[in-house]
Each structure stands twice: as C-alpha cells, then as structure tokens.
Amino acid sequence: MSETSEQLAAESTETPASKPKRRSFRRRGGVFVVSLLVLSFVMGGAGAAMVLLGVTNYGWGSALGLNQAAVDNLTHTQTNHLVLEESSAITDAVGKVNPAVVSIATSRNVQNFFGQTVQEQGGGTGFILTSDGLIVTNKHVASNENTTYTVFTSDGQQYDAQVLAQDPLNDLAVLKINATGLPVVELGNSNDLKIGQYVIAIGNALGEFSNTVTVGVVSAKERQITAAGAAGGVSEQLSGLLQTDAAINPGNSGGPLVNLEGQVIGINTAIAGNAQNIGFAIPIDLVKNVIQSVRDTGEIKRPMLGIRYIPITKEIAQVNQLSVDYGAWVLPGSGTGEVAVIPGSPADKAGIQENDIIIQIDGKKIDDTHSLPTLLASYNVGDTVTLTVLHKGDKEDFKVTLEASK
C-alpha cells in the first residue's frame, strides 16, 4: 500500500531522563539584578579590550585579574555536571522501562534439504503493554504458523504466548501471556520528536543477549523503506518510520525505542544491512489506535483507504513532470494483480482512480513530514474524511468513509 524505496534488510534471527536541574538563585532586593548587569558590562568590555589589545595567550580569567586555575576548575566542574546529568537521565530511563521489556523465543519444525524434520529457532523482543499480559512486538517476529512462542521476562520468568492479533501494514503483532501484576511501559508521543534527540534502544540482541541497551539519536523522520528478512522471503513496505543511529541488531525486532523520560516512542523493526548504525522504528503514534483497538476488542481494527501509491518527492515530480512535488500518487504495485485501487474499498466507492494524486486529508497536506499512513493513524474505522485530489488534472474533494482493513 506504500511506496517502494531503497531495499533494506529487516532484522530476523534464525539462531539459537530526567530533565536537567535548574539552578536556584535567591534574590536579595535589587542587588542581584544590579550586580549581574555590572558584571555583564565588565565582561563585555574586557572581552573587547582583549581583542583590541591582541591578548590571545591569556585566559579570560587572567585578563580580569582572576585565578585562571579556579576558572578552569569551574568550567571542568560544569562540564562534568552536564555529563553526569545526561548519564543519569539515560540510566533512569532504562531503569523505568527495562522491567517491561521481554525476550521472545520462537520454535517450529521444518524440513531440511534432506527431507529430515529439524527444529528451527529464532528470537525477537517485545514490551509489556498491560499488567495482565498483552505484549507488543513486530509481525515478522510472530508471523509463522505452527510456531511455538515463549516469552522470557526481565526477572527470569518464562511463559507460553499466543498471537492475539497482527497488523501487516505496520509490521505489528500483539501476543498474550497468562500472568498478572506485570510491569508495563508508558507510551510517549513520537510526533513531538526532534532530529538529534537522544533515544535508547532495548532488545534481545542477536536473540541471545537479552535486554541489551544502546544509545543514539533520532537521525531522521518519515522514512519509507522496503524491508525483507535476512534470508529473503516476503518483502514489506513500511512508511513514516523513525531513523536512528542507536545500534539495532538482529533480535532487537519488536523492542522499544525510548526517550529520556523512559517513554516508548517507537518499535524497533529494521536495519540497513549494508550500512552502519542505520536502523528504523515504527513511531508509536502511528500504532496507538491499533494498540487501543486490541486492548478494547482483542483484535486489530485499523482504518484503510484501499489504495496502493508512492509518495511524491521533488525528484519524482521532476522526472515524471508532475504538477505537484508532494502527495500520494495512486499507482499499482509491482506484483501480479496489484491494482492501484482495491475493488470495493472506500477509495473505490468514493471514485478515486489510478494516477490520481491525493494531496490533502481534511485540509492536512501530505508531504515528507506528514505521510499518508501517519495522517490516517489519527482516524478510526467509520470516520468520514475529505480527500483533496488532483483528478484528471482538476482539484476535487472526495468524501471517503474509512473501513476496517482486511
């Protein structure tokens, strides 16, 4: 349903914050304000004098008649304070979410090249959503039939698990274990993330090293990829993803990407196999409604339009001489029988056709920072939306009532 872009390897295993403290200043009448202003002017004047007089081999402390060693020590202390607070935020965030991160072991019987039945094992990661045992992970971790799933909690407990629901569009699956009083994660807001913001990945690295912690930043947002298993297999097209340089390894699939508040803001799902530290996570805001649907009904009810498309970029617009450089271009998929508009779908009923370009949903522009799936994620099944579409060269509005995906 989304576009095809760079080929990436989705991870799969086949082998057995707190905020910086504010400094507190106590005012003593007007003395503090006046002193601060005087000091500011003195510092500014001294700095100018140093430049004019060519004073380049002295520290600013010496130029003001201060002990330079004391100044250096103050700077060193402040730097250490910032580093310690940063480290404390990371350790606090890990301590908050780590108890709710689980390792998932998979096992199934398959036939080898010689026709012998052997046991194939794999692994992944998940996190506990409810205290009675709902666990979120990737669909590609829990997608095989006739497979046994075992969940290992951070305190060493072991549970048999069942697949409760799957959402192929978002590579999401929900498992259920029979337990009570489990620690749970807190969900954050991925839409508020900034490029360069610190994030933490936690997971069962290589299917062997449970609850491994890595740290990085948000490298980019709204990425579109085509992901496939490391050993080949069915490809999945995913869009609206977060990119991070926090190390994500095979086995980390389904684990949480966490902010410094200890809130889950993404679900780790894929890596670039021919690169270093380029990983991708599903933004938590993209699947909140899906998760809530499972909590309420025990199944996934996600709204859909029923189209296949590619997101338009400036390059695509230029090459294809399109009239706009944003939006969703309704086109058939590359596979046999993959039509642009699924017959009987909401888009089909509304009159959307192949080669149409959807540019807005309820007045919200579809672009590289607001993808079609991201915008649709805020709606529920049964909602009616207005699509602004370039249809046969004219701009038209189409009323579409969203239906549940099948």
Distance CA 95, CA 211 (A): 11
- 303-404: same fold as 98-176? no
pLDDT value for 325: 94
Pairing verdict, β 263-271 and 186-187: parallel
Cα atoms in the Cβ-side hemisphere of radius 13 Å centred on 102:
33
Q: For 192-201, 271-280, 304-313, 317-326, which range has the lowest pLDDT when averaged over its residues?
A: 271-280
- The β-bridge partners of 110 are 118
pLDDT value for 78: 57
Per-residue model confidence as pLDDT tens digits over 166-206: 887 788 999 999 999 999 999 999 988 999 999 999 999 88
Spatial contact of 54 and 245, defined as CB atoms under 8 Å apart: no
Distance CA 340, CA 353 (A): 8
Q: Can you give the chain as a three-state secondary structure string?
A: CCCCCCEEEECCCCCCCCCCCCCCCCCCCCHHHHHHHHHHHHHHHHHHHHHHCCCCCCCHHHHCCCCHHHHHHHHHHHHHHHHHHHHHHHHHHHHHHHHHEEEEEEEEEEECCCCCEEEEEEEEEEEECCCCCEEEECHHHCCCCCCEEEEECCCCCEEEEEEEEEEHHHCEEEEECCCCCCCCCEECCHHHCCCCCEEEEEEEECCCEEEEEEEEEEEEEEEEEEEEECCEEEEEEEEEEEEECCCCCCCCCCCEEECCCCEEEEEEEEECCCCCCCEEEEEHHHHHHHHHHHHHHCCCCCEECCECEEECCHHHHHHCCCCCCCCEEECCCCCCCCCCECCCCHHHHHCCCCCCEEEEECCEECECCECHHHHHCCCCCCCEEEEEEEECCEEEEEEEECEECC
For the record, the structure tokens of 123 come out as 């692994």
For the beta carbon of residue 340, count every other beta carbon within 10 angstroms: 19
Instruction: Name the CATH superfamily housing domain 7-16+186-288.
Output: Trypsin-like serine proteases (2.40.10.10)
Spatial contact of 69 and 234, defined as CB atoms under 8 Å apart: no
Q: Please determine, for residue 26, whether its predicted confidence score (pLDDT) is greater than 50.
A: no
Per-residue model confidence as pLDDT tens digits over 63-81: 445 555 555 555 555 555 5
pLDDT value for 82: 55
Q: Which of 166, 127, 152, 137 is nearest to 301 (CA)?
A: 166
Active centre residues (catalytic): 140, 171, 253
Per-residue model confidence as pLDDT tens digits over 110-142: 777 777 777 677 889 999 999 999 999 999 888
Burial 350-382 (b: 16+ CB within 10 A, else e): bebeeebbbbbbeeeebbbebbbbbbbbbbeee
pLDDT value for 136: 94
For the beta carbon of residue 23, count every other beta carbon within 10 angstroms: 5
Task: Give me the percent of the chain exceeding a pLDDT of 70.
Answer: 75
pLDDT value for 22: 38
Q: Please determine, for residue 24, whether its predicted confidence score (pLDDT) is greater than 50.
A: no
Distance CA 183, CA 216 (A): 25
The class that CATH gives domain 98-176 is mainly beta
Mean pLDDT of 294-308: 85
∠ CA(162), CA(167), CA(171), 5° rounding?
95
Mean pLDDT of 46-52: 32
Q: Please determine, for residue 339, whether its predicted confidence score (pLDDT) is greater than 60.
A: yes
When mean pLDDT is compared over 28-42, 43-57, 66-80, 289-303, the highest value belongs to 289-303
Task: Give residue limits of the domains in the chain.
Answer: 7-16+186-288, 98-176, 303-404
- The β-bridge partners of 360 are 365, 388
Per-residue model confidence as pLDDT tens digits over 219-265: 998 887 876 654 445 566 787 899 999 988 888 899 999 999 999 99
pLDDT value for 174: 93
Mean pLDDT of 387-395: 93
Q: Which of 176, 218, 221, 182 is nearest to 198 (CA)?
A: 218
Q: Please determine, for residue 372, whether its predicted confidence score (pLDDT) is greater than 80.
A: yes
Look up tokens 């991870």; give the residue. 11
Per-residue model confidence as pLDDT tens digits over 136-151: 999 988 877 788 999 9
pLDDT value for 64: 47
Handedness of CA 394, 400, 404, 406 (dihedral sign): negative
- The β-bridge partners of 166 are 173
Spatial contact of 242 and 224, defined as CB atoms under 8 Å apart: no
Q: Please determine, for residue 9, whether its predicted confidence score (pLDDT) is greater than 50.
A: no
Provide the CATH topology of domain 303-404: Pdz3 Domain (2.30.42)
Phi, psi of 23 (to 5 degrees): -75, 140
Q: Please determine, for residue 20, whether its predicted confidence score (pLDDT) is greater than 90.
A: no
